[in-house]
Amino acid sequence: MSDLKLAVFDVDGTLVDSQAHIMAAMSLAFSNLGLDVPTREAVLGLVGLSLHVMMPRLAPQADKDVHGALVEGYKDAFVQLRTESTVGDTMPLFPMALETLAELQAQPDLLLGVATGKSRRGLDKVLESHGLTKTFVTEHVADHHPSKPHPSMLQACLSDTGVAAERAVMIGDTAYDMEMAKAAGLYAVGVSWGYHDRDQLAQADVIIDKFQDLPAVLKGFWG
């Protein structure tokens, strides 16, 4: 194993505030099928899960075909909304995210990665919009893995980089991120500005309230 360290980030609710875009796309997907639009709390509570896992929970009364239609409708609506406005406008980075990522990227023994419930296409749009296409050395998305909290994405990040699990950390805003980290043997850092509250982040080793607190937390893990 390498002596390098690895910090893996969730995207929605951790790096970018995408709730307005998510809610607008969800509203279109449900209303286009004549279904009641789920509440903001219900939707944001499930952000981080893959769509094929999320939709049956949001529409438990619907059948499998409707769930599939909701998944495709959400994807189509997301793309439609993205063409009507820039991703940077509808999915802004959280305060100090860019500066903190740059600080971490400058550390020669620290690699950065992404593990997200987004699609490959969706992640690419976010990274391109915010000038982050060269920031992460390993990126894993919902297209090719089981939904969080399955550890598959983090296991792939470790495999890509050769970093040992005990020298890696997952940074995220949901219980699914914390559960995934623990399942893969990583440290878990919860962020308080995302879509799950502090009680739901109980499995985190540390919870931070400001992005700029992250470098010191990581130093505390590894010295």
Question: What span, in angstroms and rounded, lies between the C-alpha atoms of 75 and 41?
Answer: 20
Catalytic member of 3, 12, 63, 160: 12
- 202 and 152 share a domain? yes
Tens of pLDDT, residue by residue over 87-144, are 446 689 999 999 999 999 999 999 999 999 998 988 998 999 899 999 999 999 998 8
Say whether both 69 and 118 belong to one domain: no
Percent of the chain with pLDDT over 90: 82
Task: Identify the band that residue 49 occupies on the pLDDT scale cut at 50, 70 and 90.
Answer: confident
Q: Residues 97, 74: one domain? A: no
Q: State the catalytic residue, choosing from 3, 10, 160, 209.
A: 10
Q: Which of 65, 88, 111 is the last residue of a domain?
A: 88
* Residue 65 shares a structural domain with residue 171: no
pLDDT for residue 194 = 95
DSSP string, 79-103: HHHHHHS-HHHHSPBPTTHHHHHHH
**3 an active-site residue?**
no
Cβ count within 10 A of residue 62 = 17
Q: Report the chain's C-alpha Rg in angstroms.
A: 17
Contact between 13 and 173 (Cβ < 8 Å): yes
Euclidean distance between CA atoms 82 and 32, whole angstroms: 18
Domain that holds residue 27: 19-88
Half-sphere exposure of residue 177: CA atoms within 13 angstroms, side-chain side: 37
12 is a catalytic site residue: yes
